[in-house]
Structure 1
């Protein structure tokens, strides 16, 4: 059993006889996490962040799995990022005490949730502001509750850039926001600057945006407006975190600004969208190739062939309810025939998923291929965010496909 993991009571009853994916113990389809790959990915990202002298607050919306949040914090994460007040409540309920809400929080009930979180002992909470109206709503709630909230100015790409996102887009908007924040001293504490570069289409646009964010942060620091020491400078999704690290490295070395990167998909990675992004990172970044093996896909879907209606097509009991399909269809990589195979074997390269229904996948094969009803197929996925949110429980397995843990999600 892997260090730090305890057998979940629902995964086989006892440590001597855990469920095994190859023994018919697990109903399929199932979402399966490989423990070896998770451990590798946690270590890889920690070493990347350490190489740049930065902090990591992984975006928890990817998994919404507090058990994985805990492992990320144990592996050195500074905190956890979320997108909504509901997600922040989940993180807080499971012991996370530094939470960055990388979003505007609006609406009376949502803001009330923030006030409740601020009352938790040891909680350090951050959220974003990009308008006087948003700042006023937060400030009024803090004044009513006698609280103080850390806020980050959210920057958006400039008007002549193609990315569209919430955030301050020009100096006029920034000035208006700062004037409003001055009204709420003692209730809203300007802790730093935040941005999200993932809406931009290419490296040149991303670098330009990050450089602007660095410039704004330096200006606010020089003007004495940043009230947290060290101030926070935070950005970076899972595709451009290396560019953000490079462009903000000098800022991180200044000593009075903490650069907090927020990639969320690294813990599970994938075999599509983020595999391609990681390949680009390895090509352009000087640090990533020095860290050994790259990030590994850790999340796969296991499903059963339920019909072979004609020589060129099989139907698999897995569909849109089970796997992401927005950034590429799942890709079959392994198969296992109970009673024949000791371990999963590679599938033919020409097998391809051509379409998904709610509970069915159409698998293109060739006449004469060795595939039968009851065969178990293993699929790599593209875009882990929209696979995690389809499951309330995921199995963690070791190298012998024994289930050593269960991960619960809270979407």
Structure 2
């Protein structure tokens, strides 16, 4: 336990000088979460974290300090941020179509100390990637993206997947690395129920991997899971896990994944800007400041006032129902935990690093942009 856990760990001296809304990050707690994830995975070689949550070089470097050098991401900008940070392996877990293919080629040529890979889930896409890499005279590593029930991207493990694997093997400039599985639809709160569903979904994946290993005489790498199934896949021999939210954590996963003991490491600050009625306050935490795709009551949780009830939400305002005797006057500052940290971070071009109750640094959220250089 950190010493700061014995008090209000989120308190910041001089907080009245910080404009709101702002996002604060606590590096000591981030480090604690990274160490826990590495331990759960069985070592840094079995961890390939997704960077969509934090999108900054500072957290990448904290992970590298724990021996993590391979990462997963969703955008070219995130991949470039990782390469600039010194990542050895980067999987862009997103279909490369249209101009993204040309950008992928440029990325490979610009950062040759990093091994890049991407996903493929249909023959047309494989041919498109193969044609472009052949013209550019570069080799592209690919993972076969499998759909085990999320129904977002990927193909079902089976004969069509075998044929696509064979097709990738037959091309001149694609290097098939293995299988990629994201099972984000499995969110049962009971870990036993989640494990049963996860094992059932993974069974055909394992069969496909075994079949390809026998056919080609080479081990098939498997990258599997997100945050909900992370502790389940971590028990599988040789499987690399790719959770993403753990460095900062959030209220949503704290409630729905009770078996994972990560700690909150990112906090929003906001202020009461109006008290339009005796039982209502308005704070400066609108759509532009906190992820708002969930139900109104599941967007933010106030640390010192957990019973505050959101009643309306708009671009720059959040109205909350309060008890009349609450000391929530205009100007009052509130600390809050978002239910969904990933899109919340993407709203801030920088976050404030807090150490020993003071602002120590400003971390640029460089990969929130669509482009960095490429």
**Shorter-chain TM-score above 0.5:** yes
Does residue 117 of the first structure (1) align with residue 103 of the second (2)? no
User: 1:5 is matched with which residue?
Assistant: none
Alignment counterpart, residue 302 of structure 2, candidates 332, 356, 378: 332
Contact 2:150 2:182 in 1 (8 A): no
Measure, in 1, the Cα distance between the counterparts of 2:36 and 2:187: 26
Q: Give the C-alpha shift of residue 137 in structure 1.
A: 0.9
Conserved 8 A contact 1:324-1:386? yes
Q: Distance in 2 between matches of 1:175 and 1:305?
A: 58
1:212 maps to 2:192: no
Superposed displacement of residue 212, structure 1:
1.9
Matches within 5 A, 1:215-294: 215-224=207-216, 226=218, 231-246=220-235, 248-249=236-237, 252=238, 259-271=239-251, 273-279=252-258, 281-282=259-260, 294=261
Deviations 1:125-178 (A, max 9, x none): 111111111111111112112211111111112xxxx53122121423123313
Tell me if 1:197 matches 2:176. no
Partner deviation per Cα, 1:90-124 (whole Å, 9 max, x = no partner)? 322343331011122111x2111222222233221
Once the two structures are superposed, the pairs formed by residues 24-39 of structure 1 within 5 Å of their partners are: 24-39=16-31
2:39: which partner in 1?
Answer: 47
Q: Structure 1 residue aligned with 2:52, among 61, 74, 89?
A: 61
Q: Say which one has the larger Rg.
A: 1
Name the counterpart of 2:163.
176
Is this contact kept in 2: 1:85–1:105, CA < 8 A? no
| Structure 2: distance between partners of 1:54 and 1:209 | 24
Question: SS of 1:142's equivalent?
Answer: helix
Q: Does 1:73 align with 2:45?
A: no
Contact 1:331 1:353 in 2 (8 A): no
- The residue aligned with 1:320 is 287
Superposed displacement of residue 58, structure 1:
1.0
CA distance in 2, matches of 1:195, 1:88: 19
Residue of structure 1 in register with 2:326 after alignment? 369
Counterpart-to-counterpart distance in 1, 2:313 and 2:232 = 35
- Asked whether the 8 Å contact 1:57–1:81 carries over to 2, the reply is yes
Are 2:157 and 1:167 equivalent residues in the alignment? no
SS of corresponding position for 2:151: coil
Is the counterpart of residue 136 in structure 1 residue 127 in structure 2? Answer: yes
Q: Return 303-312 or 203-212, whichever deviates more.
A: 203-212
Counterparts of 2:307 and 2:74, CA distance in 1: 39
Q: Distance in 1 between matches of 2:352 and 2:339?
A: 19
Paired with 2:282 and 2:37, the residues of 1 have a C-alpha distance of 38
1:331–1:352 CA contact under 8 A, matched in 2: no
5 Å matches for 1:377-388? 377-388=334-345
Aligned to 1:393: 350
| RMSD (Å), alpha carbons | 2.0
State the distance in 1 between where 2:47 and 2:234 align.
Answer: 11
How far the C-alpha of 1:231 sits from its partner, in A, is: 4.0
Whole-Å separation in 2 of the counterparts to 1:21 and 1:101: 40
Deviation at 1:373, TM superposition (A): 1.0
1:212–1:171 Cα change, 3 Å: closer
Aligned counterparts of 1:211 and 1:364: Cα–Cα separation in 2? 48
Residue 80 of structure 2: which of 85, 89, 92 is its match?
89
How many angstroms apart in 2 are the aligned matches of 1:118 and 1:350?
A: 50
Q: Distance in 1 between matches of 2:321 and 2:13?
A: 25
Residue 380 of structure 1 deviates from its aligned partner by 1.3
Q: Secondary structure at the match of 2:233?
A: helix
Give TM-score, length-normalised by structure 2. Answer: 0.86
